[in-house]
């Protein structure tokens, strides 16, 4: 149902004010309850969470991971009627972790790491599949369910699509370049039209180190470390292959003697079928290799190609579109549709038109531009492994850090958050503010029968009270009910409400006019925006999904208390008191049992 044709206003709740409470705030008439925090026992021997941080690596492999992020509720009947709103699989990402909070006394980074700490940290990353069910009005984990699963930074996975089998993906672990271990820094996600889960590998590059005098472009363009990995996993004191693989420096005579190509097996979208607990995750290389924030699919149309969009969340990087070679047919649709297609990068022109630029070695425009730039690609695998370079060559528009996308269910309009870009000096129409500290949301409409063209406008500029988007009768100014900064998570629900989540960090998170990170609801047609949710102290609000009846909302809280030291916590959410802070999901319901947002 479209918002413009409905009699009642799309947003029926009273907006809440900003605050800096160490708690969840929701509007009058709503309730919020923490659920499945980091460390919740999930599989195997169901090891209990230890509040002093002393769970082992083996424990963590059987517990919910850290730093909850993108999340999706798959109703138990997802593959058929997709209506069950009382039982389903809650699938979520665990992006990274705070070493200060992850072990009893933090972690000593910069020197040899105890191997079990490294094991635990790798297991704190990845994805959780959690079978949940309503018992009365409460949601519970279905303990013992065969669907409960942890996928971590160590889980074996397949590499599929054009880059599978490339010499640049060959490692000692997988000499033929078709497999790797683990997924890392899983930020946003996307549900496919065939009801599988895609998890995005975002800031994976920092987990690796390559100390060679000259890094290959596959590492350098993505900022693989030159001195150490983010958590020094390469220095695990056991020296086990599963840890030293994070050192991609050249050690042996050939690529099969070491892990120089290990970073090339990261930076992809990874498909997981939550209803197939034994299934190996599949890295889908046709969608490109970059700092994938997430992915959003256009509504699938019978007999037409599958279309999805993904942003590269790094300063001055790009927005991409994938169009499958094969057409979608509901009866036979599956992950194979993501193994072949054309990847495009977006160019936003000043006149409000846009172009999708193909990154395709069989396209003469692409090969001509590569030749002009003096860049050589061996094959399409090489193009995809070096997606950023390919988009540079084509002249795509350098964006203010593309984060999540959303597609309006009625209009097909695509919305993307651009979180901020304090490094911007040269502006353009799509990124109009220098030193863009507060970010904005862009949107576009595809042009029928023209896969290369679109029309775009800026939906909303972030900023303090008074910040105005548009001019004249179209001007919309932010107020105390909706001022925000650093938009990141984004969802448009089936009723047409846009849910906008913020990821302020540093001084913007800890100080300034916006309070704690939050979630707002917006009417995409009228641009009415109201603050709906405020998170706890030093936390990001990221990831949101609803049951099909829109009566239960799941919102993820990431890194509460991220300015803590091992002995002094800046948040105690969710337990309160003196407890160690834990990332967790929040279940939001309306007290009258109604639809969220009405």
- Closer CB to ligand FEO, 342 or 485, in the complex: 485
- Closer CB to ligand FEO, 195 or 486, in the complex: 486
- Taking the complex as a whole, how short is the minimal distance between the CB of residue 294 and ligand FEO, in angstroms? 8
Q: Which position has the token pair 């996307």?
A: 190
52 exposure class (CB count in 10 Å sphere: 0-12, 13-18, 19+):
exposed
Select the binding partner of residue 95 from Ca ion, ligand FEO, none (C-beta < 5 to 8 A, by kind): ligand FEO
Q: Does 400 bind ligand FEO (CB under 6 A)?
A: no
Tell me, what DSSP letter sits at residue 583?
Answer: -
- Taking the complex as a whole, how short is the minimal distance between the CB of residue 380 and ligand FEO, in angstroms? 27
Distance from C-alpha of 484 to C-alpha of 514, rounded to nearest angstrom: 6
Q: Does 403 bind ligand FEO (CB under 6 A)?
A: yes
- One of 22, 293, 317, 400 touching ligand FEO (CB under 6 A): 293
Q: Does 201 bind ligand FEO (CB under 6 A)?
A: no
Count of residues binding ligand FEO (CB under 6 A)? 7
**The pairing of beta strand 487-492 with beta strand 87-94:** unpaired
Orientation of helix 364-373 relative to helix 387-394, angle to 10°: 90
> Considering only CA atoms, which of 265, 397, 218 is closest in space to residue 319?
397
Q: Does 540 bind Ca ion (CB under 5 A)?
A: yes
CA 222 to chain CA centroid, nearest Å: 17
**What residues contact 529, with CB distance under 8 A and at least 6 apart?**
460, 478, 481, 482, 500, 520, 521, 522, 523
- Closer CB to ligand FEO, 247 or 317, in the complex: 317
- Taking the complex as a whole, how short is the minimal distance between the CB of residue 130 and ligand FEO, in angstroms? 21
- Taking the complex as a whole, how short is the minimal distance between the CB of residue 487 and Ca ion, in angstroms? 9
- Taking the complex as a whole, how short is the minimal distance between the CB of residue 250 and Ca ion, in angstroms? 33
**What residues contact 565, with CB distance under 8 A and at least 6 apart?**
100, 106
Distance from C-alpha of 91 to C-alpha of 80, rounded to nearest angstrom: 18
- Joined tokens for residue 11: 């947003």
Name which of residues 97 to 156 contact Ca ion (CB under 5 A).
none
String marking each residue 156-195 x if it binds Ca ion according to CB under 5 A: -------------------------------x--------
What 3 state SS string does 49-72 have? CCCCCCCCHHHHCCECCCCEEEEE
- Taking the complex as a whole, how short is the minimal distance between the CB of residue 189 and ligand FEO, in angstroms? 11
Structural contact between residues 104 and 114, judged by C-beta atoms closer than 8 angstroms: no
Tell me, what DSSP letter sits at residue 365?
Answer: H
- For the beta sheet containing 269-272, the strands, ordered from the edge strand earlier in sequence to the opposite edge, are 179-181, 156-160, 282-284, 269-272, 197-201, 186-191
- One of 413, 488, 493, 562 touching Ca ion (CB under 5 A): 488
- One of 95, 400, 410, 562 touching ligand FEO (CB under 6 A): 95
Question: What are phi and psi for residue 285, nearest 5 degrees?
Answer: -75, -20
Distance from C-alpha of 213 to C-alpha of 144, rounded to nearest angstrom: 51
Among 30-38, 297-305, 431-439, 495-503, the segment contacting Ca ion (CB under 5 A): 495-503
Q: Does 202 bind ligand FEO (CB under 6 A)?
A: yes
CA 322 to chain CA centroid, nearest Å: 17
- Closer CB to ligand FEO, 288 or 597, in the complex: 288
Name which of residues 210 to 239 contact Ca ion (CB under 5 A).
none
- Taking the complex as a whole, how short is the minimal distance between the CB of residue 403 and ligand FEO, in angstroms? 5
> Considering only CA atoms, which of 578, 472, 495, 489 is closest in space to residue 541?
489
- Closer CB to ligand FEO, 353 or 505, in the complex: 505
String marking each residue 474-493 x if it binds ligand FEO according to CB under 6 A: --------------x-----
Q: Does 503 bind Ca ion (CB under 5 A)?
A: yes
- Joined tokens for residue 404: 């999540």
Q: Residue count of the chain, please give it.
A: 598
Q: What is the DSSP string of 120-160?
A: HHHHHSEEEEEEEEEETTEEEE-TT-TT-EEE-TT-EEEEE
Distance from C-alpha of 373 to C-alpha of 140, rounded to nearest angstrom: 57
134 exposure class (CB count in 10 Å sphere: 0-12, 13-18, 19+):
middle
Select the binding partner of residue 202 from ligand FEO, Ca ion, none (C-beta < 5 to 8 A, by kind): ligand FEO
Count of residues binding Ca ion (CB under 5 A)? 4
- Closer CB to ligand FEO, 94 or 590, in the complex: 94
- Closer CB to ligand FEO, 18 or 314, in the complex: 314
- Taking the complex as a whole, how short is the minimal distance between the CB of residue 198 and ligand FEO, in angstroms? 15
- Closer CB to ligand FEO, 187 or 384, in the complex: 187
Q: Does 187 bind ligand FEO (CB under 6 A)?
A: yes
Select the binding partner of residue 540 from Ca ion, ligand FEO, none (C-beta < 5 to 8 A, by kind): Ca ion
- Closer CB to Ca ion, 177 or 560, in the complex: 560
- Closer CB to ligand FEO, 273 or 293, in the complex: 293
String marking each residue 55-94 x if it binds ligand FEO according to CB under 6 A: ----------------------------------------
- Closer CB to ligand FEO, 382 or 403, in the complex: 403
Distance from C-alpha of 335 to C-alpha of 272, rounded to nearest angstrom: 9
Question: What are phi and psi for residue 257, nearest 5 degrees?
Answer: -95, -10
Q: Does 262 bind Ca ion (CB under 5 A)?
A: no
- Closer CB to Ca ion, 198 or 342, in the complex: 198
- Closer CB to ligand FEO, 174 or 310, in the complex: 310
Q: Does 562 bind ligand FEO (CB under 6 A)?
A: no
Residues engaged in binding Ca ion (CB under 5 A): 187, 488, 503, 540
Residues engaged in binding ligand FEO (CB under 6 A): 95, 187, 202, 293, 313, 403, 488
């Amino acid at each position: 149902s479209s918002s413009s044709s409905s009699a009642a206003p799309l947003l029926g709740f009273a907006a809440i004010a900003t605050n800096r409470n160490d708690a969840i705030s929701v509007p009058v008439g709503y309730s919020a309850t923490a659920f499945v925090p980091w460390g919740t026992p999930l599989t195997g021997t169901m090891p209990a969470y230890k509040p002093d941080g002393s769970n082992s690596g083996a424990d963590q492999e059987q517990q919910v991971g850290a730093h909850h992020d993108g999340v999706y509720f798959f109703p138990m009947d997802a593959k058929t009627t997709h209506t069950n709103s009382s039982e389903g699989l809650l699938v979520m990402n665990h992006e990274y972790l705070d070493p200060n909070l992850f072990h009893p006394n933090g972690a000593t980074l910069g020197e040899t790491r105890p191997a079990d700490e490294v094991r635990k940290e790798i297991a704190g990353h990845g994805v959780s599949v959690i079978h949940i069910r309503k018992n009365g009005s409460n949601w519970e984990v279905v303990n013992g369910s065969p669907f409960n699963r942890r996928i971590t930074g160590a889980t074996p996975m397949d590499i599929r699509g054009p880059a599978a089998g490339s010499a640049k993906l060959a490692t000692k672990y997988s000499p033929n370049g078709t497999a790797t271990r683990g997924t890392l820094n899983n930020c946003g996600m996307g549900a496919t039209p065939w009801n599988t889960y895609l998890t995005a590998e975002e800031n994976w590059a920092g987990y690796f180190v390559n100390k060679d005098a000259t890094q290959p472009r596959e590492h350098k363009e993505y900022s693989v470390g030159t001195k150490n990995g983010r958590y020094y996993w390469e220095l695990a004191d056991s020296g086990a292959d599963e840890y030293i693989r994070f050192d991609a420096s050249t050690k042996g005579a050939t690529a099969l003697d070491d892990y120089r190509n290990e970073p090339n097996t990261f930076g992809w979208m990874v498909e997981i079928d939550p209803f197939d607990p034994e299934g190996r995750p599949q890295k889908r290389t046709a969608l490109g290799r970059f700092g994938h924030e997430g992915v959003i699919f256009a509504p699938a149309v019978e007999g037409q190609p599958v279309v999805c969009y993904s942003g590269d969340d790094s300063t001055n990087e790009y927005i991409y579109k994938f169009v499958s070679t094969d057409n979608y047919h509901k009866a036979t649709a599956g992950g194979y549709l993501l193994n072949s297609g054309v990847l495009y990068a977006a160019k936003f022109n000043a006149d409000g038109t846009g172009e999708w630029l193909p990154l395709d070695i069989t396209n003469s425009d692409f090969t001509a531009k590569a030749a002009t730039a003096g860049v050589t690609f061996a094959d399409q695998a090489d193009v995809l492994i070096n997606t950023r370079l390919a988009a540079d060559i084509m002249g795509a528009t350098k964006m203010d850090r593309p984060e999540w996308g959303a597609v309006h269910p009625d209009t097909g309009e695509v919305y993307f958050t651009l979180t901020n870009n304090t490094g911007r000096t040269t502006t353009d129409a799509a990124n109009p503010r220098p030193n863009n500290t507060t970010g904005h949301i862009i949107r576009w409409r595809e042009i029928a029968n023209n896969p290369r063209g679109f029309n775009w406008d800026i939906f909303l500029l972030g900023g303090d009270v008074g910040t105005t988007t548009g001019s004249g009768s179209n001007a919309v100014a932010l107020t105390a009910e909706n001022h925000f900064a650093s938009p990141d998570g984004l969802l448009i629900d089936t009723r047409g409400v846009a849910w906008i989540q913020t990821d302020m960090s540093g001084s913007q998170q800890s100080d300034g006019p916006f309070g704690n990170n939050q979630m707002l609801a917006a009417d995409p047609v009228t641009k009415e925006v109201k603050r709906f949710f405020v998170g706890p102290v030093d936390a990001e609000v990221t990831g949101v999904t609803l049951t099909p009846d829109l009566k239960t909302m799941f919102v993820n809280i990431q890194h509460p208390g991220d300015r803590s030291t091992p002995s002094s916590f800046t948040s105690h959410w969710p337990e309160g008191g003196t407890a160690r802070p834990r990332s967790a999901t929040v279940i939001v319901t309306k007290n009258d049992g109604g639809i969220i947002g009405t």
